[in-house]
Structure 1
């Protein structure tokens, strides 16, 4: 049985369908999943056979004449998400059915031939990628300020929540605590690698702690700069002299756009790496206390069998839990008819003390879902129910 099911509907060309499917296949491969087994992609003909228990989302390609209209209408009636999508220049109102026009559409970009943004949006809808889209920009103000500001604005316009120290720390807040808090909640770090980047202990700490948390790094190397081998394992963009409009930026528009696409693709790899790290630690702790991992379900839920033979469902999450995250986990557990209260598992390292206190309060007062630190999973689960 597949855990996730998608559909490509409307009027896609054969090339559209192939490219989107190939991009989805690459992204789910980051999670160790395969197309056709863990994830199934339907068309209009096969959609009636979909497993209604699986997490599901569809993309509707606008076109003339309108295709798969009744299939799309049935999906909307079932309250499943449908993303209307059009190519550049297509009139949204003329090529998308009226009952889909209230949904926010996605205009595919000419520079995104692999449809990375659309693939990401579909995987967000089924819960494989988290909906928060967070990027941390690490840079030396004296060398790359203009480029950092440019990327902040460009990424924000593409739906990312971007952390830039000069923009996103409120007056009076503890600077470093907030900075580390935002770093551990990021999907990707963009490192603007300039000649003096490693001269600052703060940027050295940023790159080191990003790697410690298994956050993927996109290294943007300044022209004629010889980078340190310490970051050789990072994804890399080399800038030419013509890519910079000034010594500290901004970056040429086409190059900046390509950087955004690299971030979009790198994001799934980063989330997958961190998710697998948390699940690996959880498995090790559960086995230490005599329990076992029994099954993997939709929405990345994990069935744990404890020593007293009780089964509970754990939901490892990447980043910082919020009340909204707890509600989301409780809702998914309820729809899956899980009898025990679900367990949200998270990595607390780097989270502000004030936020940890807030999570503790939520855990004490919201009994529909429990939250535990992955570093304390075995200790906590050994006394579960007592």
Structure 2
């Protein structure tokens, strides 16, 4: 049975449909999911037969005249999420049926023919990619300040929550504690590799800790630099001398746009790697205590059969848990008709102590969901009391 189902409705061209399917296949492949098995793709004719228990979203391609109108109207009546989308030159009000116009639409960009942005939005709706889109910019202020500020603004304009130390740490906050907290909640690190980047222990720690947390790194290399062994596994963008308008930036538009697209590409791989890491640790501890993993359910929930034969549904999450995420887990478990109290599993390394105390308080106050550290999973589940 499928755990995820997507529909492509409306008036996409054959090339647009094929590009979106390829983009979806690439992104879900990072999670070990195959189209046709764990994920089903529908069109206007088949979407009425979708599995109501599966995580679902539809993309509606605008056009004149409108197509698949009744299928889209049916989904709206069922409160299923539909993302209206138009091309770079199309008019939203003309090409999208009126009953879909209350939903926030996505205007496809001319530089995104592979449909990366739309595919990512669809996967965010079904919970494979988290809805928070977070990037950490690592740089030396003396050498890359203008480029860092430029990328901060460009990524923010594309819907990313970008951490830049000069912008995002409030006066009086413990600088390094907040910085590490924001790092572990990031999807991708953009590293501006300038001549003395590795001469600072702070930037060395940033790149080292990103790799320790399996956060993917995009290394933007200043002209003429030699590779460093700490970044052997990083994705790289090499800048030519004429792609910098000054020694510290900004970066010329074409090169900056290429960096933004690489960040979008890396994001799903980074989230998948961290998800698989948490899942692997959880599975290992389940085996240690003599319990059993029975399978994977909707939203990548893991069914755990304890020694006393009770079933627990565990939800590994990437990044820092919040009250909103706890509520999201409760809603996902309810929609999937899973019995018992769902368990959110997270990696606590790098999270601020004040936030850890907050999570403990939330866990004590909220009866509908539990949260446990993946490092404590075996210990907690061995003595589980709902």
SS at match of 1:123: helix
* Partner of residue 93, structure 2: 93
Is structure 2 residue 378 aligned with structure 1 residue 381? no
Deviation digits for residues 272-316 of structure 1, max 9, x if unmatched? 000000010001111101001111011111100111111010000
Kindly state the Cα deviation for residue 264 of structure 1 after the two structures are TM-superposed.
0.8
Q: 1:195 aligns to what?
A: 195
Q: Does 1:151 align with 2:156?
A: no
Q: How far 1:100 sits from its partner (Å)? A: 0.8
State whether residues 57 and 81 of structure 1, in contact with CA within 8 Å, keep that contact through their aligned partners in structure 2: yes
Report how far residue 40 of structure 1 moved. Answer: 1.2
Alignment of 1:114-133 (within 5 A): 114-133=114-133
Q: Which residue of 2 aligns with 1:274?
A: 274
Residue-by-residue CA offset, 1:95-137 (whole Å, 9 max, x unaligned): 0000111111111111111010000000000001000000000
Structure 1: distance between partners of 2:77 and 2:256? 40
3-state SS in 1 of match to 2:242: helix
The corresponding residue for 2:58 is 58
Deviations 1:20-41 (A, max 9, x none): 0001000111001111111111
Following TM superposition, by how much is the alpha carbon of 1:53 offset from its aligned partner in structure 2, in angstroms?
Answer: 1.1
3-state DSSP of counterpart to 2:376:
helix
Secondary structure in 2 aligned to 1:89? coil
Is the Cα contact below 8 Å between 2:192 and 2:221 reproduced in 1?
yes
Worse-superposed segment, 21-30 or 222-231: 222-231
> Which piece of structure 1 moves more, 218-227 or 18-27?
218-227
| 1:59-95 Cα shifts (integer Å, max 9, x gaps) | 1111111110110111111111111111111111000
In the alignment, does 2:315 pair up with 1:315?
A: yes
2: CA distance, partners of 1:135 / 1:193: 16
SS at match of 1:230: helix
For residue 135 of structure 1, give the secondary structure of its aligned residue in structure 2.
strand
Asked if the contact 1:135–1:187 (Cα under 8 Å) also holds between the matched residues in 2, the reply is: yes
Q: Are residues 1:46 and 2:14 paired? A: no
1:102 aligns with 2:102: yes
Unaligned runs of 5+ in 2: none
Query: Which residue matches 2:9?
Result: 9
Equivalence for 1:305: 305
1:343-382 correspondence to structure 2 within 5 Å: 343-382=343-382
Is the counterpart of residue 166 in structure 1 residue 160 in structure 2?
no
Deviations 1:139-174, CA, capped at 9 Å, x for gaps: 011111000000000100100000000000000000
Deviates more, 1:334-343 or 1:264-273: 334-343
Separation in structure 2 between the aligned mates of residue 258 and residue 268 of structure 1, nearest angstrom: 17
Aligned-pair distance for 1:339? Answer: 2.1
Give yes or no for contact 1:193–1:227 (8 Å, CA) kept in 2.
no
Unaligned runs of 5+ in 1: none
State the shift of 1:54 in Å.
Answer: 0.7
Q: Provide the rounded CA distance (Å) in 2 between the counterparts of 1:276 and 1:87.
A: 35
Q: Distance in 2 between matches of 1:367 and 1:21?
A: 40
Matched residues, number: 386
Give distance in 2, aligned partners of 1:115 and 1:79.
Answer: 25
Question: How big is the shift at 1:47?
Answer: 1.1
Q: Which residue matches 2:230?
A: 230
Q: C-alpha root-mean-square deviation of aligned residues, in Å? A: 0.8
Matches of residues 205-244 of structure 1 in structure 2 within 5 Å? 205-244=205-244
Q: Does 1:339 align with 2:339?
A: yes
Deviating above 4 A after TM superposition, structure 1's stretches of 4 or more consecutive aligned residues are: none
2: CA distance between counterparts of 1:79 and 1:110?
A: 31
